Chain A
């Protein structure tokens, strides 16, 4: 029983009071970071790396604390998604879709409990998966070349535009705008500036955090001003935290499915938690009998993406630890941390530094239980941070948005850009164009382009190379199906069934 011996070794390291204390601090700080709009796991961990060094922590302690922050931020992100309709971090974007409508209907407590438990289930299963599969899955990344990655990104866009929206054209436009924005900046392949109009600030491209905070937080502020707070996110109140066991139980399959999908998405290098939560939500919506209630406050629409993004967070550690290939922005930051600590990730990490790997895994398991306690019974502590009157919260959101962006980029230009994105988000809301595809375009645009160009270099410009492997063909077929099928299914399925609007109250 190698596994149990290893796990015992891990717990013997992670259960020391000092390490435990660091894990608890990490979880607490992480949840706050996740909950605050604009601050997410990657910038949160990045901001804390220098602090952990100045505290003089050894390798394992620093790793335990920062991965606790990482997991914590994954939990915390949902809080502001649900209460404010502002994703606390970018993977929590999908949680807004049903979490916020639930909160508006007075089910904020249910949404928080369900999403908290879903986070736990996702993260817990993923940690178990990490434990069992990391040594085996060291080989999966070898199957993904430029053509496969390009097809994977196409799949993400197509399913988003197809299953994920009510109007393919509008989400295609939004995705195209996002991809266009991603093109701004220095072209990595030739070193030529593109679409910078001689503006030096645009040379490094548009930071996706600026776009996210602008499109979500600032646009929300504009909307609030326009409507004087009517049907705006800001100011949603949260009652007593109670657990509706029946409702919680009804989401069990959504949680399990979300965990599985998220975990797999996390393992794919470059995909990460955002794709995990997104695919989990889409799959849940696609397989549900009551599709129409998704987006209006279906508890399963909260459970699936939360389980998905937390499972992806665990899954993303696999390529990072076994191959040194980060599966997401945050794991890239963690990779930098490992390298700084003189730990070289790779196929041999598990045999050469078992105390690091198993200490980390044990710490993740512990952090999960700590986080469940913090995020379900104690969630009010974090909600307090967000639950303040609108005359404080409104300037507060604005301030956090500005301070957050400025502290990250140190650039006044980025703050103006953020406001511009805010205006864009507000206009898009008027036009009923979804903003999520814009973000996805900005996030994935460069990797997608890089992989397309790599594929073209490798094949001497032969386009058929993109369809040259079974994996690539499978991904392409899924992409086309995901985009086209809903058009037909919509006309076929929609007529007989009338949209159910009171599903929540009868549940």
Chain B
């Protein structure tokens, strides 16, 4: 679908909404209803109101297009000083910004408010795979880079592709363009390819593999978090296997660049309230999210670091020049 004109139509709509709802806060989900960004907006809106952090119900606006680029451009150009606006974001947002997928927009055009949960990155193999742990996988790739092909739910250069590259980098293997990766339509498809033996490993998010892990079709080599994930304590982290990689598909928000520090801090405090609430803990458990809370200034500097790393990797594999 042609997203640019849709963006124009929507921005006209958005302007109208902005001018008529001066008091209401708004959360833009840069995708159609049903996805992760929509989920973030709706849950945050609901919990903030339940906690009394906001007075009136928060308006959730869906603004799909260009993988979040339409909403990003709209916020930067039309809503840059709107203190009543928050926008859902995730790892995909920063990956795309780092790879210049938003037509020239850059990450420093907004302020990243915080992350309140995350879908841990995982690397899994079929149950009968000879690879027993991450060390086996690294050794196999070092011996013959073509011997382990990865399947993932994101396109080449996307977040799922980055995960094995980061692991191999951490293992001191620099010839990362030799690593085979195919992007398929989603995590389940990637698992299907791996169980079918067409690829040797799958890289994705925890939520995508839960069903297959429980059914015993696949075995997780590593989870890419700082600590083992509650509920999946038998899956070792990459870090404890000697590869210092943390890749979490975080769920969070950004706000317009032009708001004051006080306004930013007020939003950060509200988001922290959500992160600490029992309601959010419940939502996370129900949806297979792991704790991953970074709010305010900490988060901004963490995001900056992630973007630098993504840019470097993307250049190496030739996704950007």
Contact = CB atoms under 8 A, between A and B. Distances in A.
B192 A190 contact: no
Interface in B178-210: 180-184, 186, 188-189, 192-193, 195-199, 207, 210
B210 A49 contact: no
Contact of A190 (B3, B156, B188): B156
Given A53-B33, A204-B3, A410-B5, A191 B157 contact: yes
B74 interface: no
Contacts of B183: 188-189, 450, 454
B215 A142 contact: no
Given A141-B192, A146-B182, A409 B1 contact: yes
B3 A145 contact: no
B189 to A, nearest CB: 5
A478 B217 CA distance: 32
B188 A325 contact: yes
Contacts of B189: 269, 325
Given A325-B192, A336-B34, A340-B34, A346 B215 contact: yes
A344 B211 contact: yes
B104 interface: no
Nearest to B190: A325
Contacts of B184: 450, 454
B196 A49 contact: no
A488 B5 CA distance: 50
A194 interface: no
B56 to A, nearest CB: 19
Given A191-B319, A207-B1, A460-B146, A410 B6 contact: yes
B1 A324 contact: no
B149 interface: yes
A141 B287 CA distance: 26
Interface in B21-59: 32-35, 38-39
A504 interface: no
Chain B, interface SS category: mixed
A143 interface: yes
B99 interface: yes
A408 B3 CA distance: 11
Contacts of B101: 191
Contact of B2 (A145, A345, A413): A413
A410 B196 CA distance: 40
Contacts of A457: 149, 180-182
A71 B6 CA distance: 30
Contacts of B139: none
B286 to A, nearest CB: 6
B9 A410 contact: yes
B280 interface: no
Interface in A189-212: 189-191, 200-204, 207
17 contacts: A142-B195, A144-B192, A144-B196, A146-B193, A190-B319, A191-B101, A204-B3, A325-B192, A340-B38, A344-B211, A345-B211, A346-B215, A409-B6, A410-B6, A412-B5, A454-B184, A458-B180
Interface of A: 46, 49-50, 53, 141-146, 188-191, 200-204, 207, 269, 323-325, 336-337, 339-340, 342, 344-349, 408-414, 450, 454, 457-458, 460
Given A325-B188, A414-B5, 11 more contacts: A146-B182, A146-B198, A188-B156, A191-B99, A204-B66, A269-B189, A340-B34, A347-B211, A409-B2, A414-B2, A457-B180
